[in-house]
Structure 1
Amino acid sequence: MMIENSQHTAVLKETLSDKEEIFEKWRNTVGLFLGPLVALAVYLMDMPSLSQKAHILAAILSWTVVWWVCEPIPLAMSALFSSVLCVIFSVADAKTVFAPYADPIIYLFLGSFMLAKAMKIHGLDKRFAYGIMSIKSVGNSTGRILFAFGLICALLSMWISNTASTAMMFPIAVGIVSAMADISLKETGKQVNPLKLRFGTGMMLMAAYAASAGGIATPVGTPPNLIGIAMIEKFCGVKIAFFQWMSFAFPLFLFLFGLLYFLMYYLHKPEVAYIEGASEFVAEQHANLGKWTRGQKNVLICFLITVTLWLIPGVLAVLYGNTSPAAASYSKMMPEGVAAVIGASLLFLLPVDWKTRKFTISWIQASQIDWGTLLLFGGGITLGSLMFETKLAEIVGTSLLRITGATSVWGITFSAIFIAILVSETSSNTASANMVIPVMIALAQAAGVNPIPPAIGATIGASWGFMLPVSTPPNAIVYGSGMVPITAMLRAGIFFDILGGLLIWAGLYILLPMVGLA
């Protein structure tokens, strides 16, 4: 679901080599001083086309972008600090600047985070994972194991964080790869290092890449999706419902997952076709989970109620039309944020043990969710709003229009996808979305074309960083396994970035007109 940006640096410190840690410290330190210096340089530039407020905002934005890329302080605090600077330098008043921090979509984040936390606390995510892996048709085939393993990572990350999904599946992959090494020892009499197996590299990369790819399929799968949906509603006046997003994003994900499986299998061809004992290992782990607990049942109830509430508007639209009184009334009464809060509230009402008044989740547990992403989202929406209010976005969009030469809606969408992918390689997906989406909307509006396809292209592209350990926490986690050489990640990442980007463009070109968004 959500990549925990506040944990990004912590994950990297645990997994990177000494040289890479030195680079990270250098990046953080340089960024600390470079941010304000770049802001000062931008402010001192002669920009007659900008108003005074737009000029100041450009300086603040440049400072924030440098800090988002270099991370000298947590991303959430960079976003919050940018909001403070906007008030101090009179870009807007405090009420206007901080209003986006209470945007209804913030509560969609909040409720989703609590549901994901409850899943992890009660082990519902593991039960789903081992349940699917123990299906007989998966068996001992390395190809089917890789496929099922990746599919589980992707399905989980549609609802829980990409990082949590990868971290949970990581030990399962290690166990299966170790089983392969044991089999090789029995068959050849030679000791095989699991860290050197091609299949191990493929499994690790599949865990990271599938988790990130799965996040695009639902609005709550990853923060850029909700950022894009919020910005499209705010700046384009079009509300994308939960069901409508899934109606194009889920089919797109299926094609992307097919590409991912093909790449992972053929770039890291398994040493053997079958792993005797793999199914037994999974079955044993599944059996160790025991019977369904009351907590797991409660979380499943809350989750299903929430998803049902999210999907009802789409069903009403299909049955009665988007403009029907029933669909309009329900959307007004039960927006996605309210549905998420209802689901989260039920966690505090359904008891695990009534005698001791123990409920499905406690406030101490719920308060451990990633509050930083909420701040980062609020700060990003604030900057995007102010860019449009001061006309800065329009001027940047017009300038980019001249530079890129893209004038058609699909030409701009192509640029949006690959610019977002490039930015996401060195920045968090949330920061990338906050940087690229408003600019692409402005670029499309300056060209006089529909801004929704470019905005969606930038939204999905922001989650498509696969080349480097620093690109996403899932990448960092699997890199730390020792099974993924940096060259293997670069090679697989370049292929998936480029081919995936092209497939995203083609998929949006076909699917968005079918759902009324192009």
Structure 2
Amino acid sequence: MQASLSLLLKLLIAFGLPFALLQVPTPSLPLGELTLVQHRLLAIFVMAALLWILEPVPVYATSLLIIVLELVMLSDQSLLLFRQPADATPLGQFIAYTDIFHAFASPIIMLFLGGFALAIAAAKFRLDTNLARVLLSPFGSQPRYIMLGLMLITAVFSMFMSNTATTVMMLALLVPVLATVPRDDNSIKALVLAIPVAANTGGIATPIGTPPNAIALQYLSDEHSISFLGWMAFGLPFVIVQLALAWWLLQRLFPTRHHTLALHLEGQFQRSWQAWVVYLTFGLTIVLWLTTAWHGMNAYVVALLPLTVFALTGIIGKEELKLFNWDVLWLVAGGIAIGMALDQTGLAGQLAHAIDYASLPSLLILILLSGLCWLMANFMSNTATANLLMPIGAAIATSVPSLAGAGGLTAMLIMLAFSASLGMVLPVSTPPNSLAYSTGLIDSRDMMKVGVLVGLSGLSVLYLAALMALSV
């Protein structure tokens, strides 16, 4: 009964406040005079934020609702009632309904489809676990080096696979290692926490590693576009620094009493022709992603090649297609749709000018927005956080002179993407955190302690890099 009342209250808040906002005269809003289309979009934006924060419905359902409401209320094929102004308020420019539908077929969606295909094929033929076994063997038997090996392997897999799938795989690999450690040894907590920290951090290195990166790329086009390798030039050094800091931090917070741990890693690579197709396609796709300048195909085009190869060879069939993270694709599509609407209606610009950012130093603007992004990402989905803040950050970066003329758009969106992925304070902050917490080997205080320190250290590295970039 109490759960039902809580759900009802959340729904009333999420839908009631935006409905009340629609009844407010536009001149009375702090944004100034809005068109009816902008006013409706603002209500949809507020509703999406509340639904993503409170989560009375699944986050992907909120994204689908955004797209439907835009089609019904804001598109050139909207309900006739919404195309007729009720008063003297200007109606505004409607959005082409095809532009809203394009959110489902954005290049970003194609990039994720390719990433899912690689991850599922690798898991089907045990490429992931066998690579982990081979890569972990050289790290010896000392606990700190085993933890370093786990973190490096987890981070590398998270660059190209779902961080959730990577965490599941690495926690399973950790089971025989933990079996040799007494339950009262702190190294258990260090080893378990190392995996979600590395999974959350590793995805930062590549455009397909985590949804916030892909959302940032949506706004980096034309002269601001970044290649796969170009993104890694920013992301990989940051990940290396963060992993080193986290490794040192975990050793200090959870020191071990043992000098050695026994590893029992078994298994072998499969030799079937389909397994060889997976191995070769996996390697070739990564090479093509890293050499765009040589062959001319961008990351989005390359992403469809493994999907096509696996479909033609039967490696991915109907059952495997069901394993794709369609909820993530819907969530990203909703963010793309709301970002596009904010841009086309001009509302993003008005939200960006609600505060006089032009009077603030460039670095302070970046710090304020990235800090807000990190704070929000600890309490809600990092993808939902990126969906909400990316369009506003892009509008601010292109309208504030001190940022617009100094690569500010790229700096703003990269910092927001990185900050969203650093949100890992609570068990509910990210799926890897939830999976690690579900083992029962750590408690929320341990996770909060590590999450806060790793997050703040990451933000400090970002701010130092931004200071150096803006001073050049």
Matches of 2:201 and 2:355 in 1, distance apart?
28
CA distance in 1 between partners of 2:204 and 2:6 (Å): 29
Amino acid of the structure 2 residue aligned with 1:209:
V
When the two structures are superposed, what TM-score results if normalisation uses the length of structure 1? 0.81
Deviations 1:102-143 (A, max 9, x none): 2122111111111111111111110111111111xx211011
How far apart are the structure 2 equivalents of 1:69 and 1:229? 24
User: 2:311 maps to what in 1?
Assistant: 348
- 1:59 corresponds to: 43
Structure 1 residues 336, 70: CA separation in 2 closer, same or farther (over 3 Å shift)? same
Q: Is this contact kept in 1: 2:142–2:260, CA < 8 A?
A: yes
CA RMSD of aligned residues (A): 2.2
Q: Residue 114 of structure 1 is aligned with which of 111, 114, 117?
A: 117
Percent identity (aligned): 27
2:427 to 446, 469, 481: 469
Aligned pairs (5 A) from 1:153-192? 153-181=154-182
- Identify the residue that residue 79 of structure 2 maps to in structure 1: none
Specify the code of the residue in structure 2 equivalent to 1:271: R
Among candidates 57, 64, 68, match of residue 52 of structure 2: 68
Tell me which amino acid in the other structure corresponds to 2:212.
P
Residue 32 of structure 2 corresponds to residue 44 of structure 1: no
Bigger relative contact order, structure 1 or 2 (CA pairs below 8 A, ≥6 apart) = 1
Counterpart CA distance in 2 for 1:178 and 1:509 is 46
Name the aligned partner's letter for residue 152 of structure 1: I
> Which amino acid letter does the alignment assign opposite residue 95 of structure 2?
A
Q: 2:287 aligns with which of 298, 308, 318?
A: 308
Which among 460, 463, 467 is matched to residue 505 of structure 1? 463
Determine if contact 2:366/2:412 at 8 Å carries over to the other structure: yes
Could you report, residue by residue, the CA deviation over 1:329-379 in whole angstroms, capped at 9, with x for unpaired residues? x54xx23222111122111344xxxxxxxx323232133201222222121
Tell me how far apart the structure 1 counterparts of residues 310 and 356 of structure 2 sit (CA, whole Å). 49
For 1:127, the aligned partner's letter is N
Q: 1:273 aligns with which of 259, 272, 285?
A: 259
Residues in 2 aligned to 1:508 and 1:255: alpha-carbon distance in whole angstroms: 15
Mark the runs of 5 or more structure 2 residues left unpaired by the alignment. 75-93
- Counterpart in 1 of 2:95? 92
- Structure 1 gap segments, 5+ residues each: 1-21, 182-193, 317-329, 351-358
Residue identity opposite 2:369 in structure 1: A
Query: Match of 1:417, SS?
Result: helix
TM (norm. structure 2) is 0.88
Q: Determine the structure 2 residue equivalent to 1:479.
A: 437
| 1:136-157 Cα distance to aligned partner (Å, 9 max, x none) | xx21101101111111111111
How far 1:433 sits from its partner (Å)? Answer: 0.8
Q: List aligned pairs for 1:215-364, cutoff 5 A.
A: 215-233=203-221, 238-275=224-261, 278-279=262-263, 281-282=264-265, 285=266, 288-289=267-268, 292-314=271-293, 316=294, 330-331=295-296, 334-350=297-313, 359-364=314-319
The letter of the residue matching 2:24 is: M
| Number of residue equivalences | 442
Matched ranges for 1:353-432 at <5 A: 359-401=314-356, 407-432=360-385
Contact 2:363 2:466 in 1 (8 A): no
Amino acid in structure 2 at the alignment position of 1:132 = L
Using a 3 Å threshold, how does the CA distance of structure 1 residues 401 and 494 change in structure 2: closer, same or farther?
farther
Question: For the residues of structure 2 that align with 1:52 and 1:476, how far apart are their CA atoms?
Answer: 42
Does the Cα contact within 8 Å between 1:441 and 1:454 map onto a contact in 2?
yes
Kindly provide the CA deviation profile for residues 149-197 of structure 1, in whole angstroms up to 9, marking residues without a partner as x.
111111111111100111111122232122022xxxxxxxxxxxx2x43
What is the CA-CA distance between 1:509 and the residue it aligns to?
A: 4.7
The separation in 1 between residues aligned to 2:353 and 2:119, in whole angstroms, is: 41
- 1: CA distance, partners of 2:166 / 2:204: 14
CA distance in 2, matches of 1:79, 1:299: 33
- Give, in whole Å, the separation in 1 of the partners of 2:418 and 2:5: 30
Paired with 1:291 and 1:452, the residues of 2 have a C-alpha distance of 43
Q: Which residue identity is paired with 1:56?
A: R
Deviation at 1:93, TM superposition (A): 4.1
